[in-house]
């Protein structure tokens, strides 16, 4: 088994050297060509010289074989009436045989490279088709599962309303939050009004988890209701305020969301009165993702600002172009 793999590997290396000699480029060789152009040129010249010497050796050996056959024929003594003259291959014949060898080897390697490229493209196309089918199945699954979940939660809310109104209200907030996040995560952008509604549903749920420890307010000017921003940015800031500010605080705190337009910029602020800056504040994965998405969508026209709150806690501010 190892011998077979070793011989196959050696044969593949010979094919690669042949591709380099004749300038046949495979798709995975494009980058190497640009990065090592001088080295490739020198190595290719060395390969051409080696190929020429090998062809000269084979052609010369063929000429020697013919002359040896003639000498043996003449020395046999059985063919006195037929004497063969020694044959010397001319330079023109040598060049012709060398050109024929160059053409045949080049043609063979070119056909093999084309077949290898087609096979590779077929493999990549098959893999892409499998990925497309898998993503389609995931999309169908993502469409079916929320529908089943929302129907089940709606039934739980209906059953809880007569005897447990608080549980029914919490279930309603959960349905609103899940429905909003499911729809927003499928899109690249979201209306600011819808994003604030998602945060409102989330904070209502957190108020149930943190009774008497969390209060919040949301202010969004009317002219910004239809302003679109990347989805989940605002919710990520609110979740960070809960996780790093309110939950670690014994007394809890308040979260305030404000959105306003100042000249040609939209300022969306999430401030909390939690424990304030810590060692990990500003360095989390969520905040880094926000910075990356802002840079990807707006370039240097948008940014995320973090500063200490005057009383206590942290102020996170999205500065977006209007």
The sign one gets for the Cα dihedral 36, 42, 46, 49 is: positive
Q: Which domains does the chain have, with CATH numbers?
A: 10-70+95-146 (no CATH), 161-321 (3.30.565.10)
Residues near 109 by beta carbon (within 8 Å), at least 6 away in sequence: 15, 18, 19, 22, 24
Q: What's the rounded Cα separation, in Å, for the pair 274 and 276?
A: 6
Class of residue 267 by CB neighbours under 10 A (exposed 0-12, middle 13-18, buried 19+): middle
In this structure, what token pair is assigned to residue 152?
Answer: 């089940």
Q: In this predicted structure, what is the pLDDT of residue 23?
A: 73
Q: What's the rounded Cα separation, in Å, for the pair 252 and 237?
A: 17
Rounded to a whole number of angstroms, the distance between the first and last alpha carbons of the chain is 67
pTM of structure: 0.51
Question: In the beta sheet, which residues pair with residue 229?
Answer: 190
Q: In this predicted structure, what is the pLDDT of residue 319?
A: 94
| SS percent in the chain: helix, strand, coil, step 5 | 65, 15, 20
Q: What's the rounded Cα separation, in Å, for the pair 133 and 287?
A: 33
User: What are the average pLDDT values for consecutive 10-residue runs of the chain, which has 322 residues?
Assistant: 59 76 66 58 78 79 75 66 66 77 81 82 78 62 54 68 77 74 70 89 84 90 91 87 88 92 92 78 73 87 90 91 88
Q: In this predicted structure, what is the pLDDT of residue 258?
A: 94
Q: Whose CA is closest to 261, among 300, 313, 226?
A: 226
Report the SS3 class of residue 271: strand
Q: Whose CA is closest to 318, among 285, 287, 281?
A: 287
Q: In this predicted structure, what is the pLDDT of residue 184?
A: 61
For 180: left if phi > 0, alpha if psi spans -120 to 50, otherwise beta; the answer is alpha
**CA distances from residue 153 to 1, 80, 165, 195, 205 in whole angstroms, order as listed:** 59, 110, 14, 22, 15
Q: Whose CA is closest to 202, among 242, 230, 167?
A: 242
Q: In this predicted structure, what is the pLDDT of residue 225?
A: 92
């Amino acid at each position: 088994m190892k011998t077979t793999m070793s011989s196959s590997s050696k044969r593949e290396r010979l094919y690669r050297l042949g591709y380099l000699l004749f300038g046949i480029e495979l798709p995975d060789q494009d980058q190497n060509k640009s990065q090592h152009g001088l080295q490739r040129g020198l190595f290719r010249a060395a390969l051409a010289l080696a190929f020429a010497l090998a062809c000269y050796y084979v052609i010369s050996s063929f000429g020697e074989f013919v002359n040896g056959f003639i000498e043996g024929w003449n020395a046999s003594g059985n063919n006195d009436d037929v004497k063969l003259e020694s044959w010397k291959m001319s330079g023109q014949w040598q060049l012709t045989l060398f050109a024929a060898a160059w053409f045949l080897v080049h043609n063979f390697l070119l056909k093999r490279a084309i077949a290898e490229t087609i096979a590779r493209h077929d493999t990549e196309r098959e893999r892409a088709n499998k990925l497309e089918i898998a993503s389609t199945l995931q999309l169908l699954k993502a469409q079916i599962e929320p529908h089943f979940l929302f129907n089940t939660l709606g039934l739980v809310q209906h059953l809880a309303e007569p005897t447990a109104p608080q549980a029914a209200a919490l279930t309603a907030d959960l349905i609103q939050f899940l429905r909003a996040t499911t729809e927003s995560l499928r899109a690249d952008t979201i209306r600011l009004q819808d994003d604030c509604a998602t945060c409102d549903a989330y904070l209502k749920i957190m108020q149930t988890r943190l009774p008497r420890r969390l209060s919040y307010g949301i202010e969004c000017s009317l002219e910004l209701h239809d302003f679109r921003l990347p989805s989940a940015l605002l919710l990520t800031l609110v979740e960070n305020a809960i996780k790093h500010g309110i939950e670690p605080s014994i007394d809890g705190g308040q979260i305030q969301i404000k959105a306003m337009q100042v000249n040609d910029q939209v300022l969306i602020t999430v401030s909390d009165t939690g424990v304030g800056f810590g060692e990990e504040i500003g360095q989390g994965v969520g905040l880094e993702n926000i910075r990356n998405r802002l840079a990807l969508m707006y370039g240097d026209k948008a940014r995320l600002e973090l500063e200490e709150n005057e009383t206590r806690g942290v102020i996170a501010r999205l500065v977006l172009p209007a």
